[in-house]
């Protein structure tokens, strides 16, 4: 755990927050959030309009979590080999 903390604290100054926490797939090149469902600036209610919306959202979240876990694993594997 100390090794992970040390790696993170050594990199905080050299990474943007998005890159540090491996959130890059959630933002575009201008660091604007990419939404899984259409976004209307909080006008509509924050509920799913149907099962299709839920399944689209769920698929996006599961894919993101799985890919983020792989990116984190690769990052630390590469750091260990330096």
pLDDT digits (tens, 9 = 90+) for 61-72: 999 899 888 888
Kindly indicate the confidence band of residue 6, based on its pLDDT and cuts at 50, 70 and 90: low
**Could you state, in order of their start, the residue ranges of all structural domains in the chain?**
2-80
Q: What percent of the chain has pLDDT over 70?
A: 74
Contact present, 26 and 64 (Cβ < 8 Å): yes
Helices (H) and strands (E) in the chain, counts: 3, 0
Q: What is the mean pLDDT of the chain?
A: 77
Q: Which residues contact 4 (CB under 8 A, 6 or more apart)?
A: 76
pLDDT score of 19:
66
pLDDT score of 57:
93
The SS3 of residue 70 is helix
pLDDT score of 7:
54
């Amino acid at each position: 755990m100390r090794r992970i903390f040390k790696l993170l604290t050594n990199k905080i100054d050299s990474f943007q927050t998005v890159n540090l926490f491996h959130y890059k797939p959630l933002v575009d090149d201008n660091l604007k959030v990419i939404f899984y469902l259409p976004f209307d600036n909080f006008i509509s209610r924050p509920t799913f309009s149907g099962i299709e919306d839920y399944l689209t959202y769920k698929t996006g979240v599961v894919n993101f979590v799985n890919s983020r876990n792989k990116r984190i694993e690769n990052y630390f594997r590469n750091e260990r080999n330096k």
